[in-house]
Amino acid sequence: MQFVNLKHAQDRVDFATAVQRGLGLDRGLYFPAAIEPLADVPGLLALPFVERSARLLAQLTGLSLDLTGALVEQAFDFPIEQREVADSVHALELFHGPSLAFKDFGARFMAACLAEFSRDQPTTILTATSGDTGAAVAHAFHGKAGVRAVILYPEGRISPLQEKLFCTLGENVHTVAVAADFDHCQALVKDAFEDEVLRTRIGLNSANSINVARLLAQVCYYFESVARLQGQAPVFCVPSGNFGNVTACGIARALGLPMKRILAATNVNDTVPRYLADGHWAPEATVATVTNAMDISRPNNFPRVEALARRAGMPISDYLHAVAVSDENTLDALRALDASGYLADPHSALGWQALQGQLAPGEQGVFLCTAHPAKFAEVIEEALSRSVPLPPPLAAVRDKTVLSARIPADYSALLAELG
Ligand SMILES: *Cc1c(COP(=O)(O)O)cnc(C)c1O
């Protein structure tokens, strides 16, 4: 399988190279050169999750089935749950991994790939996070020999517990609080990638959702969801920030996974819903919301959604709808879900809210639960006036010291941190 740089069609590489480079020439994103519909989708749906995922990833990456089998076994070592929370409405819980968010799928598969592909070279993983990526990447690389992980995040804009979950690990995990918003953190990472000297010296590699390994890993849980619906085609509702998860869902569709359509749900950082409505790409300043992992107004992965439309002959308007949800409606949704007996984190509640009124009679809806409720305990406690019990991974870090460095949003400050 070849991967093509979306900014330079002649920059074509194999999967291992795309994963190691992270970004191509001129910050171009890599994307599969061709996505062919699978021959036997029902046969695949009948397989257990890990075996099916190994086959999907062998097809998507061009690696051998033996190798993807070994990588997937390391990476997907935690369960997925799908619960019917109301008639025909299903919660796809992707937060049962070590960092309690769906990003564990992509981060752990990518870490397994990088450890495999860069055995003898020094490697620095540099990534920007609006919260959950950092935790997933930190846990995925923590203790991996020969790899250092450097994680930037916007100071004061992620929840205190979220910070504890990934900024207290130490060893080969170095966290940096930047006095700016997520878009600035992301810009610093991009600057570092353009710095050829630095790149070679420290073996720079990216680990946010722009790395194609993460994206491909996420295709697997959409198949699991449909398998659990006995092959019925659902409407998928995806709480979205950087639009990696929506891209993965679109790839699943291009591979032939039965689904009615995709509903991308954003908070008031609604660049994509506005774009789909009026055709103008007009990002505004990023606003802080109760769904802070989605406080992104320049979604990095959107060019891949458009590339998929061109390459797989899937016009966006045929399958992708987008809805923006206010904080007020997200909190109301959280309360309504809780009253019906289901405790959701704010991002998942936003997804449920966006699905309301969108299902035709007889349709099944699946909303992605992207984080464990306890990860956003502060918001939930305020909305419900009661405390949320901490699951073991969070209870274990609650009283630990945050080890992060603090820098201004300035490239020379980042260079000093990278050493
Ligand atoms: C990252 C994240 C999202 C957004 O996913 P994208 O792939 O960036 O669109 C939604 N919810 C949570 C909890 C997240 O961590």
Domain ranges for the chain? 79-100+218-388, 103-210+400-418
Q: Has residue 14 got a pLDDT over 80?
A: yes
Q: Has residue 68 got a pLDDT over 90?
A: yes
> Any bridge partners for residue 309, and if so which?
none
In angstroms, what is the span from residue 66 Cα to ligand 1's centroid? 30
Nearest CA to ligand 1 atom 15: 132
Second-level CATH architecture of 79-100+218-388: 3-Layer(aba) Sandwich (3.40)
Strands (E), 243-364: 261-266, 320-324
In angstroms, what is the span from residue 12 Cα to ligand 1's centroid? 28
- Residue 10 contacts by C-beta under 8 Å, 6 or more apart in sequence? none
Q: CB neighbours (10 Å) of residue 253?
A: 26
Confidence of residue 209 (pLDDT cuts 50, 70, 90): low
Residue percentage of the chain with pLDDT more than 90: 80
Q: How do residues 170-184 score in pLDDT, each as one tens digit?
A: 999 999 999 999 899
**SS3 state of residue 247:** helix
Q: Are the C-beta atoms of 373 and 244 separated by less than 8 Å?
A: no
What is the rounded distance in angstroms from the CA atom of residue 363 to the CA atom of residue 164?
Answer: 40
Q: CB neighbours (10 Å) of residue 37?
A: 11
Class of domain 103-210+400-418: alpha beta
Pocket test for ligand 1, best of 105, 130, 240, 350 (most atoms within 8 A of CB): 240
Q: How do residues 255-284 score in pLDDT, each as one tens digit?
A: 999 999 999 999 999 999 999 999 999 999
**Which sign, positive or negative, has the C-alpha torsion 223, 224, 226, 231?**
positive
Q: What angle do CA 192, 193, 195 make, to 5 degrees?
A: 65
The residue type at 250: G
**Closest Cα to residue 126, out of 21, 12, 3, 15?**
21
Nearest-atom index, ligand 1, CA of 247: 7
Nearest CA to ligand 1 atom 11: 370
Same fold? 79-100+218-388, 103-210+400-418: yes
Instruction: List all residues whose CB is within 6 A of at least one atom of ligand 1.
Output: 101, 103, 131-132, 209, 239-245, 293-294, 347, 370-371
Q: What is the mean pLDDT of residues 35-43?
A: 95
Pocket test for ligand 1, best of 99, 242, 301 (most atoms within 8 A of CB): 242
